[in-house]
């Protein structure tokens, strides 16, 4: 394989076609169904699917077929099939998006594509709209050199940011077409820096739900009720203390797993490679301190530890419009991140029981669960795949490949790992320092997207030549 030719072909596709189409994609507010209950009526998901399919149809890839698959009442998936030689590769991404969030810098916005200093700002470009483009650009580059590649089936869903609850139905519906993949390539993960290829070896699980505490049927004057009626917010604090130490952030033992020597060794290597980036990648405010002093311990906490975040609150007006009224209820949307090997369904049942048993002061307490998702950790790589990945990083990044666990969740990996236990996984991505997926100022680092695409091309070429 001519690495320079691959780089030129992929770079031209990104600069001339992919980035302009990503501009159009970013403008579409196709929020995941958890954040847009009327997504079908609004039609944004169909707009995004149609845009991506239009681009797919214009590629010059030999043998390519594509279609949008729609099951009744479910978000659509895009399916692209390219015949090949040896091997059956399943390539994955998603095109639904997180909500807008606040705090975007002046001139930036979730639905406003802006290119600046090699970065394409806007919601969804890096997470994960670029995946379908990168997958096909890699195959196009190989065909341009008359190089072999495996059969590649590209599946792009539109429910990932909602927990992929529609995806199992599609996996069953498309089982004959999916067949038995021997390699899965996922481009929805993080990278520790923009200097080398990063292989994700584990993903945490997630458990989310809304905790609601109700003390009255309607609000009353705080002067009349204060001292008699308990504050719903105070009772909510008590309930949160049942699962999380408010000082240390440590969660109950049943939400944790033992940390193995292999995990510690990997964390030490990641911390050594990233140095201050372990902390500097976050937009710290004031003198806020991290949860530990050791970079290695912070990496472990983020990849194999458990954590809880309050990501939303309801029942309270904006402070500028808050009267002297004792509120009837307070609700908090909670997101737990779980160690990769922890069973999320069992954890969810125990958390729900912990919150709802013996309500403080007899208040009405409920914890409404979303769909828990168990995490994932990869099988050991085959020697040939490991060599291919290492060589691709050296060729296209000029630096060694690194492996790391990732703090986020990709439900599809667990689904496929359970269904195809012998399958190998190449999980990587472009979400590096300050790229801020889900938050304000999300960006796609374009040069990293190009280099990752080239690495995918090499892995596919090597796969077709592996006995």
Contact 212, 345 (CB under 8 A): no
309 sits in which H/E element: strand 307-314
What is the rounded CA–CA span in Å between residue 157 and residue 94?
A: 5
pLDDT in tens, 414-457: 999 999 998 999 999 999 999 999 999 999 999 999 999 999 99
Answer yes or no: are the C-beta atoms of 370 and 208 closer than 8 Å.
yes
In this structure, the chain runs to a length of 467
**DSSP-assigned letters across all residues of 4-50:** HHHHHHHHHHIIIIIHHHHHHHHTS--B-TTT-TTHHHH-HHHHHHH
3-state secondary structure 252-274: CHHHCCCCCHHHHHHHHHHHHHH
For helices 344-356 and 232-243, angle between their N-to-C axes, nearest 10 degrees: 140
pLDDT in tens, 160-191: 999 899 999 999 999 999 999 999 999 999 99
Residue 434 has φ and ψ, to the nearest 5°, of: 70, 0
Other Cβ atoms less than 10 A from the Cβ of 438: the count is 15
138's CB contacts (< 8 A; 6+ apart) are 10, 453, 454, 456, 457, 460
92 neighbors 188 (Cβ within 8 angstroms) = yes
Distance (Å, rounded) from C-alpha 169 to C-alpha 70? 11
Sign of torsion over alpha carbons 390, 394, 396, 402: positive
Cα separation, 156 vs 158, in Å, equals 7
Give the chain's radius of gyration (CA, Å).
23
Predicted confidence pLDDT, tens digits, the chain (467 residues)? 899 999 999 999 999 999 999 999 999 999 999 999 999 999 999 999 999 999 999 999 999 999 999 999 999 999 999 999 889 999 999 999 999 999 999 999 999 999 999 999 999 999 999 999 999 999 999 999 999 999 999 999 999 999 899 999 999 999 999 999 999 999 999 999 999 999 999 999 999 999 999 999 999 999 999 999 999 999 999 999 999 999 999 999 999 999 999 999 999 999 999 999 999 999 999 999 999 999 999 999 999 999 999 999 999 999 999 999 999 999 999 999 999 999 999 999 999 999 999 999 999 999 999 989 999 999 889 999 999 999 999 999 999 999 999 999 998 899 999 999 989 999 999 999 999 999 999 999 999 999 999 999 999 999 998 76
Name the one residue in this structure whose structure tokens are 């472990």: 300
- How far apart (Å, rounded) are the C-alpha atoms in residues 97 and 157? 11
Contact by Cβ (8 Å): 28, 22: no
Report the run of H or E that residue 368 belongs to, with start and end. Answer: strand 364-369
Using alpha carbons, select from 101, 79, 82 the residue that is nearest to residue 92: 79
Question: What is the rounded distance in angstroms from the CA atom of residue 337 to the CA atom of residue 410?
Answer: 12
Structural tokens at position 83: 């015949």
Who's near 170: CB < 8 A, 6+ residues apart? Answer: 69, 71, 74, 77, 155, 157
Domains, the chain, in order of start with CATH, read 3-203+375-465 (3.40.630.10), 207-267+293-369 (3.30.70.360)
Percent over 70 (pLDDT), the chain: 100
At 111, give phi and psi (nearest 5°). Answer: -110, 20
Q: Which tokens sit at 354? A: 């912990």
Closest CA to 87 of 133, 148, 26: 148
Handedness of CA 354, 206, 31, 53 (dihedral sign): negative
Is 81 in contact with 16 (CB distance < 8 Å)?
Answer: no
For 279, phi then psi, to 5°, come to: -100, -40
Secondary structure class of 439 (helix, strand, coil): coil
The tokens of 269 are what?
């290597």
Report whether the peptide linkage leading into residue 128 is cis, meaning its omega lies within 30 degrees of zero: yes
Q: Is the pTM of this model over 0.85?
A: yes
């Amino acid at each position: 394989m001519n690495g320079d030719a691959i780089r030129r072909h992929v770079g031209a596709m990104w600069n001339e076609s992919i980035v302009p189409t990503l501009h159009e994609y970013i403008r579409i507010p196709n929020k995941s169904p958890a954040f847009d209950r009327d997504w079908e009526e609004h039609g944004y998901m169909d707009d995004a699917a149609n845009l991506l399919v239009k681009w797919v149809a214009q590629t010059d890839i030999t043998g390519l077929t594509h279609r949008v698959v729609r099951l009744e009442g479910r978000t659509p998936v895009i399916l692209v099939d390219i015949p090949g030689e040896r091997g059956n590769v399943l390539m994955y991404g998603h095109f639904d998006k997180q909500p807008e969030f606040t705090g975007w810098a002046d001139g930036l916005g979730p639905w406003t594509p802006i290119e600046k200093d090699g970065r394409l700002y806007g919601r969804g470009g890096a997470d994960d709209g670029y995946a379908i483009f990168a997958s096909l650009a890699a195959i196009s580059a190989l065909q341009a050199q008359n190089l072999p590649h495996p059969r590649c089936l590209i599946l792009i869903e539109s429910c990932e940011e909602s927990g992929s609850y529609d995806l199992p139905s599609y996996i069953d519906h498309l089982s004959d077409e999916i067949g038995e993949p021997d390699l899965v390539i996922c481009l929805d993960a993080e990278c520790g820096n923009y200097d080398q290829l990063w292989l994700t070896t584990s993903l945490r699980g997630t458990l989310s739900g809304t905790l609601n505490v109700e003390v009255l049927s309607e609000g009353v004057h705080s002067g009349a009720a204060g001292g008699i009626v308990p504050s719903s917010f105070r009772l909510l604090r008590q309930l949160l203390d049942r699962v999380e130490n408010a000082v240390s952030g440590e969660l109950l033992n049943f939400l944790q797993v033992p940390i193995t020597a292999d995990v510690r060794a990997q964390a030490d290597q990641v911390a050594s490679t990233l140095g201050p980036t372990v902390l500097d990648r976050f937009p710290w405010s004031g003198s806020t301190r991290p949860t530990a002093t050791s970079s290695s311990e912070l990496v472990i906490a983020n990849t194999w530890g458990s954590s809880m975040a309050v990501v939303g609150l309801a029942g309270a007006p904006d402070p500028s419009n808050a009267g002297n009224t004792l509120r009837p209820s307070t609700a908090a949307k909670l997101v737990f991140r779980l160690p990769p090997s922890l069973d999320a369904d069992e954890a969810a049942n125990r958390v729900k029981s912990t919150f709802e048993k013996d309500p403080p002061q007899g208040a009405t307490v409920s914890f409404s669960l979303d769909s828990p998702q168990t995490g994932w950790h990869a099988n050991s790589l085959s020697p040939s795949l490991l060599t291919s990945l290492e060589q691709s990083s050296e060729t296209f990044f000029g630096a060694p490949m690194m492996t790391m666990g990732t703090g986020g969740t990709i439900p599809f990996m667990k689904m496929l790992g359970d269904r195809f236990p012998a399958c190998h996984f190449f999980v990587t991505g472009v979400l590096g320092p300050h790229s801020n997926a889900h938050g304000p100022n999300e960006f796609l680092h374009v040069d990293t997207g190009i280099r990752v695409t080239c690495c995918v091309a090499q892995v596919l070429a090597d796969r077709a030549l592996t006995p």
